[in-house]
């Protein structure tokens, strides 16, 4: 399913790909009466979150990296619903819509400026000529990885806290794969930023001789979404998932013995910060491997053609 970036922004953020998650949330009364169904939904959601994030690690198409991150975030929404926290799932769906639309439209701004070039390996050094677009992708990426106090942080960390607060095998399974997916997300978000904007340019002269930042008509929606990616999660958190808040009234149903939002609220500080450590580790590794070692073209080539690395690279790149 491919299309122009404004179309991708719409279908990934608000309409097509998240409709299945919305259906699960609306059918909560059926899932709540079947423990087996909840377990299946949780397992498939957590597995999808990790699988899609691992595939995104080595994609070379700018839009494809962002598309696989959508698939990974859908996994988070689904396993949150499988853990009987439908309001948190919908909260993450709404938060994801803001920063994913921002990322896709910013990617469109990069592709437009580079005369329709989408390959990450043929970019680089764009921070100097596309400063506004870089700022927007930077904000969107921070929100995506769940950096503290941006929009994605309030829902993503809440989902992982709910998983570990279940104190069951399924909860631990979701938590472990969710944290692993958070590590992968931080890595490929850093990789995208470094290869596109920070590393020395690898573009053809024909691509960059007419490069330009977005005009005001393209920049204005990015700025609005950028503000949303910073403030939306903070402003709506208490309304949607605050203790005692019932924004959906009878639209979702959770049986009392499946409700564990209070348990997750009062977890110890170390447990709450584990996903953040995974995120920082992913960012640091992408900085080390892509920005520091990635500048040496000979080293990159020799690494990619070595048998062990080549097998892993092809396995993940080809899904």
Query: Taking a C-beta distance cutoff of 8 angstroms, is the pair 228, 98 a contact?
Result: yes
Mean pLDDT, contiguous 10-residue spans, the chain (319 residues): 84 88 94 94 97 94 94 96 94 96 94 87 88 95 95 95 94 97 96 92 80 88 96 94 80 86 90 95 93 78 84 87
**Res 1: pLDDT:** 63
d(CA 8, CA 14): 10
| Token duo for residue 272 | 């709450």
Cα torsion through 165, 171, 177, 183, rounded to 10: 0
Structure tokens at 149: 């106090």
Helix axes 151-164, 269-286, angle to 10 degrees: 120
Give 217-256 pLDDT, tens digit per residue. 889 999 999 999 999 999 999 999 988 887 777 788 888 8
């Amino acid at each position: 399913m491919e299309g122009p970036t404004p179309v991708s922004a719409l279908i990934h953020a608000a309409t097509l790909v998240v409709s299945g998650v919305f259906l699960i949330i609306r059918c909560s009364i059926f899932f709540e009466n079947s423990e087996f169904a909840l377990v299946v939904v949780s397992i498939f959601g957590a597995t999808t979150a990790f699988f899609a994030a691992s595939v995104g690690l080595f994609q070379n198409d700018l839009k494809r990296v962002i598309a696989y991150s959508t698939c990974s975030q859908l996994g988070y929404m689904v396993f949150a619903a499988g853990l009987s926290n439908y309001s948190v799932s919908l909260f993450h769906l709404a938060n994801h819509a803001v920063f994913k639309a921002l990322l896709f439209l910013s990617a469109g701004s990069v592709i437009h400026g580079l005369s329709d070039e989408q390959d990450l390996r043929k970019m680089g050094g764009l921070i100097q000529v596309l400063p506004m677009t870089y700022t927007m992708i930077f904000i969107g990426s921070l929100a995506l990885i769940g950096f503290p106090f941006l929009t994605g942080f309030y829902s993503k960390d809440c989902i992982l806290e709910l998983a570990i607060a279940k104190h069951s095998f399924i909860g631990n399974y979701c938590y472990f794969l969710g944290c692993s997916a958070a590590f992968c997300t931080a890595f490929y978000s850093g990789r995208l930023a470094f290869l596109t904007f920070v590393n020395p340019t690898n573009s053809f002269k024909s691509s960059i001789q007419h490069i330009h930042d977005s005009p005001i008509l393209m920049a204005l929606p990015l700025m609005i979404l950028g503000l949303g990616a910073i403030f939306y999660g903070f402003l709506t958190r208490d309304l949607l998932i605050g203790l005692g808040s019932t924004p959906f009234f009878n639209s979702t149903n959770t049986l009392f013995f499946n409700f564990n939002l209070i348990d997750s609220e009062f977890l110890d500080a170390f447990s709450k910060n584990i996903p953040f450590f995974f995120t920082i580790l992913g960012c640091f590794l992408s900085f080390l491997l892509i920005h520091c070692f990635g500048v040496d073209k000979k080293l990159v080539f020799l690494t990619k053609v070595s048998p062990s690395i080549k097998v892993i690279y092809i396995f993940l790149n080809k899904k």
